[in-house]
Structure 1
Amino acid sequence: MLTFVLSSMLAVGLSLTVREILAPLRNYRLIVLALLANFALMPLAAHVITKLLRLDQPLGIALLLLGTAAGAPFLPLLARISKGNLAFAVGLMVLLMVVTVGYMPLVLPLLLEGVSVDPMKIGRSLVFLMMLPLAIGLLVRARLGRLAAKVQPSLSRVSILSLIVLIALLLITNMQNVLSLYGTRGVLASIFFVAAGSGVGWVLGGPQSDTRGVMALGTAQRNIAAALVVGGQNFNDPKVIVMVVVVAIVGLLLLMPLARYLAKRSQLASNRSSNASKLQSLEQSAADGARRGL
């Protein structure tokens, strides 16, 4: 996990500038919709799924923790795979992480009696594991552009390989935990939850496909680290943590294929646009030739 987060954040920082990251965040309508999706509709989705499937209390608590925890470090890599707007993905990730640090301590005690959230513990991992490597990458890109261009592809490959290893390790080490949820509808709830996130993000992601795909992936992929911190602090029932881990596994297994599908969809749209432009150019040339003949 550590290798993936560090290499991914560094690679993203080396490939972008601060101006490129901030530019998409000036679309205030899109930002408001992103906040609505992640901090209002996802907690609501967690509550509805819990009631609909009649989940045991620990599983419902885990979904609610995830519903209030947004801003996953996986988002930039998923955006890169999907050929989405990488700058928007990074800006959105940082925004959601920062809001999560303040949102969870305020909202969770209102939703779950007896819960206390230490924002410093969430913020510490945010700063040291994500923001600092991202800032270092941005600084190197700004000061040493040639070095950044040479190093960035290697770091991107490392982040992809480490993600594959992470998924495999999560499956191997948590298989027993996944099986322990058999008969509790926990896995089904995880699928519904991730699907709800991607659907909400897609609908609210605006008219442009590159931001719509990022919103779908970013809303569905939750901040697992923040949910684990709060769950470990407040609940003795191990099923809370197990459910958080299961949602993380299900999310990666569903969103990686979704990202690849979005990439193919983007490529097809690009090809159609290119063919239409060529056809229009040929028609214009033919029309010009006909006028000259006259």
Structure 2
Amino acid sequence: MRYQSAGPATSRAPRRSWLRIFGVGLLLWVLTVVVTFATGNPNLVPTLVLLGSFLVPVTFVAWAFGRQHSGEVTAELLLNTFVTGGVLGVLGASLLETYLLHPSPGLFFGVGLVEEAVKLAALAFLTRRLTRKFAVDGMILGAAVGFGFAAFESAGYAFTALFTEHGLSLVDLVQTEILRGLLAPVGHGLWTAILGGVLFSASDHRHFALTRRLLLSYLGVSVLHALWDSMHGIALTLTLLLTGTPTQSQLLQEGYQVQPTPLQANLFTILSWGGLAVLALVGVAWLLLERRGASRGTQSGVLWRVPTVRM
């Protein structure tokens, strides 16, 4: 009787499939952009919006699928969490933000609390029947919900960017898709992956870890989310504090737009993008720490390598 690990051999194909998904999807998106600009055919706009909004989220979910832990994460479950979880998250966030939040200095923190709560609730609801819950699988399924949320949200932003005061703007639509596609890996998917790992971190691997650590992680992720959304305003405030003049302050208080100096424009760009980079690094480092802790907790051999028997 001979034992052989089924891990690396069986996971090789899924681990490479994300490259093909991204390559083919990117080619189709570029072709759609070119043909849409060349023909001006408005019927191609939905195709452009969907391809651009879903390309990066789907790619990252496929990449994560090849790194599952226990085999509990099936393709059907992953698709269900991506689509259903994403839609439930978007709908729930829209309802709660409409009726609970109002313009105020704490608006972005409220948005972070609401959106992270609905994504976490959607994840728990869709995975409640899993018989074994491992932290690594929770990260993957959490990322699926988060990327689903990001994909549907990006589709909305891209569609809205199409309409300008000068008419339809394909340039604004494409720019919005490129920007949100570049930022997608360090946004919703990352934050919900962190919460998913904590939710699935119970020692018995049978129940959700509804602990103080989950609450603190939820609050921490919500703060990252709020800072991310408000980074434009934070950068603007810091720029004015560091380089603003009394004349500019007076004009702003009277409700006038202020023309920034070249120094202020450059400083604002550095602060806004630098702030987003710092938040992204914090989120990635947090996820890596959760991943390392999950690995240490499962090195006893339980389902880390599923053996197959050869007679």
TM-score category (smaller protein) = 0.3 to 0.5
The structure with the greater share of residues assigned to helix is 1
TM-score (norm 2): 0.31
Higher relative contact order (CA 8 A, sep 6+): 1
TM-score (norm 1): 0.33
